[in-house]
Structure 1
Amino acid sequence: MVHTEMTVGDLIDRLSVCDRSAPVRQAMNPFFPMAHRLAQVIQAADETGQPVVYLAEGRDPNTQLGHLPPEAAVDLAWQAPAQAPPRSPRRTAGSK
Structure 2
Amino acid sequence: MEPEVTVGEFIDRLSRCDRDAVLRLAINPFFPMAHRLGDVLVGTDECGDSVVYIGESKEAEQFGPLPPEVAVALTWHEPVDAPPRMRRSARRSHTP
* TM > 0.5: yes
Name 1:13's counterpart in structure 2: 12
Greater alpha carbon shift after TM alignment, 2-11 vs 19-28: 2-11
Name 2:93's counterpart in structure 1: none
Unaligned runs of 5+ in 1: 92-96
Deviations 1:10-42 (A, max 9, x none): 100000000000111110100000000101111
Unaligned runs of 5+ in 2: 90-96
Matches within 5 A, 1:76-95: 76-86=74-84
RMSD (CA atoms) = 2.0
Instruction: Please tell me the residue identity of whatever aligns with 1:75.
Output: A
Residues of 1 paired with 2:62 and 2:72: CA distance? 20
| TM-score for the superposition, normalised by structure 1 | 0.82
**Corresponding pairs, count:** 90
Runs of 4 or more above 3 Å deviation: 84-91
1:32 is the counterpart of 2:35: no
Greater alpha carbon shift after TM alignment, 66-75 vs 76-85: 76-85
